[in-house]
Chains A and B, each alone.
Chain A
Amino acid sequence: DQQVKQNSPSLSVQEGRISILNCDYTNSMFDYFLWYKKYPAEGPTFLISISSIKDKNEDGRFTVFLNKSAKHLSLHIVPSQPGDSAVYFCAARDNTDKLIFGTGTRLQVFP
């Protein structure tokens, strides 16, 4: 039973445009959501997070939006850069403080 879902396995975006990565979850008890970025042969690195009491968090080119009623969050990257090409994982914190990860979306930003 996949509690955190990333339904798009891949996304291709032109440099300078907006990248939108989506994530859906099923457990309404999740209280904290995070996005991680992973390059090949490296571990995931933390990108941005949002508490369940907020609906938006912005950090430079990265903004995370949370829609609790729809159990949906999204990561916006604008403007997208070739160095953003990586696999992006959505994660949610459960009531035992562990993170439940989605299956990832591979973003490719082309010139």
Chain B
Amino acid sequence: GAGVSQSPSNKVTEKGKDVELRCDPISGHTALYWYRQRLGQGLEFLIYFQGNSAPDKSGLPSDRFSAERTGESVSTLTIQRTQQEDSAVYLCASSLVATGGYTFGSGTRLTVV
């Protein structure tokens, strides 16, 4: 596609439920990144994919968070047993190579109630 697409754009979920967030990167972009931005804070790195493998998962805040990428394309970020502190905007970005020229999607605003 022309840009990075994320779905859903908004998600409200009850505490304890699982959620899946989807990212469709720009076609041909080999690197894919997940960040999150909690209210009043900066962009927090979560995980990075090069192709379908994740060489850097250092930012995942707990084992409730996982992500996968298939076909060097779509990625899903899964949060199990959501907590209120998971409320944030989850941003996905892709780049042709890992040179820092990211293109971001519009994000998924997750609200855990």
A residues lining the B interface (CB < 8 Å): 6, 32, 34, 36, 41-46, 49, 89, 91, 93, 96-104
Chain B interface SS verdict (over half): strand
Task: Decide: B100 and A44 in contact? CB cutoff 8 A.
Answer: no
Minimum Cβ distance to chain B for residue A4 (Å):
8
Most B C-beta atoms less than 10 A away, residue of A42, A43, A89: A43
A-B contacts, CB under 8 A, total: 56
When A and B form their complex, which 7 residue pairs have the shortest distance between CB atoms, in order from nearest? Answer: A43-B104, A103-B42, A97-B98, A101-B43, A93-B100, A43-B106, A44-B104
B residues lining the A interface (CB < 8 Å): 4, 31, 33, 35, 41-45, 48, 55-56, 91, 93, 98-107
Task: Decide: A98 and B56 in contact? CB cutoff 8 A.
Answer: yes
CA A53 to CA B112, docked complex, whole Å:
44
